[in-house]
Amino acid sequence: MTEHKPIIGISLGDFNGIGPEVTLKALSDSKILRMCTPVLYGSVKVLSKYRKLMNLEDWSLHSAKTIEQIAHKKTNVINCWEEHLEIQPGKVTPEAGRSAYIALKTATEDLKKGVLDAIVTAPINKHNIQNEEFPYPGHTEYFAHEFAAQETVMLLVSGDLRVGVVTGHIPLSAVPAAITKAKVLSKVNALIKALKDDFGINKPRIAVLGLNPHAGEDGLLGSEENEIIGPAIGELRHKGHLVYGPYPADGFFGALQYKKYDAVLAMYHDQGLIPFKTLAFDDGVNYTAGLSVVRTSPDHGTAYSLAGKNQAKEASMRAAIFLACDIVKHRKEMLSLQHTTH
């Protein structure tokens, strides 16, 4: 870990999507260079093409072959491939998928060496990135595997709104079987640890949503709340944690109850992400809680329909970079606190 500004790696993602555009736009904000040293993993050629497309040529990118050659007062680019690849904004191509993986792998190797303080991942296409080394549904599962995480939580963050999910990228039909008492306990415990270590919240308050409509209506509309979710919450409360629920998801968000809690744990992807994106679509950040390293990303996809048109908004990417810097700072503070108390 560096003693000066944190070094934040940014993997370029699918270069035919909006990743290069939102990354360049976010990095043109002068506040970013004051807060961190950004290191883009991708290609100067690709980025130069997008800079021309978007008239962002008045600031310079510092090209480096390795992390040791970066400049701390500039936006750095580590070239992860040399060959000339055709950039086709809005098109799904095998080259873009392969390049997204090479950029991600190179950044991950530097993260493992400890020369990066955090990584921000621009969007990938989950189909064209697939290969023997990347058989995962997404970034979250890839990082969980690479850093041998016991439990991770996909946590969507916008200011004080934080929404996590018990089950992530799985079919809706597989959700009920995947919700067990052990899984709910494991996710809540990972969430509590992240809220303390990564967000500096000493005694976090967590709301847990039910799985079924009306949180099961006392068993009338489903038994998971009475048999699985409720008992898990009871066990956590018995240990002194401030965990509440299970709440009916619709009324919980409709009545703005989320404002009373430090985080909300939803049972499945859309139950948590639909209200989150409705409330915070432009500046939401996807954070992988439970990793030994810090990883954030914008909460949108490749958005091929916008690629190359200079229309994509960079607020979510900028927020992802700022959140990565904040979490690095919180983790350092927690470490120094632990050293002084031992």
CATH of the domain at 327: 3.40.718.10
Residue ending a domain, among 249, 274, 290, is 290
Q: Verify that 95 and 193 share a domain, yes or no.
A: no
Q: Give per-residue pLDDT as tens, 79-127.
A: 999 888 999 999 999 999 999 999 999 999 999 999 999 999 999 999 9
Angle at 146 (CA atoms; ends 141, 147), nearest 5 degrees: 100
For residue 97, what are the domain limits? 1-149+291-342
Give the CA count within 13 Å in the CB-facing half-sphere of 69: 9
Residue ending a domain, among 269, 290, 311, is 290
Angle at 252 (CA atoms; ends 256, 176), nearest 5 degrees: 150
Q: How far apart are CA 167 and CA 98, in angstroms?
A: 28
Q: Verify that 21 and 37 share a domain, yes or no.
A: yes
pLDDT bracket for residue 273 (50, 70, 90): very high
Amino acid at 176: P
Q: Verify that 339 and 202 share a domain, yes or no.
A: no
Q: Verify that 191 and 216 share a domain, yes or no.
A: yes
Q: Verify that 172 and 77 share a domain, yes or no.
A: no
Amino acid at 280: A
- Single pTM value for the model: 0.94
The structure tokens listed for 306 are 């916008």
Q: Verify that 298 and 262 share a domain, yes or no.
A: no
* Inter-residue contact 327 to 294 (CB < 8 Å): yes
Q: Verify that 11 and 96 share a domain, yes or no.
A: yes
Q: How far apart are CA 113 and CA 148, in angstroms?
A: 15
The structure tokens listed for 47 are 């980025």
Q: Verify that 19 and 140 share a domain, yes or no.
A: yes
Residue ending a domain, among 268, 290, 312, is 290
What pLDDT score does 342 carry? 60
Q: Give per-residue pLDDT as tens, 188-206.
A: 999 999 999 999 999 999 9
Total domains in the chain come to 2
Q: Verify that 198 and 167 share a domain, yes or no.
A: yes
Q: Verify that 175 and 272 share a domain, yes or no.
A: yes
Q: Verify that 208 and 282 share a domain, yes or no.
A: yes
Q: Verify that 282 and 320 share a domain, yes or no.
A: no
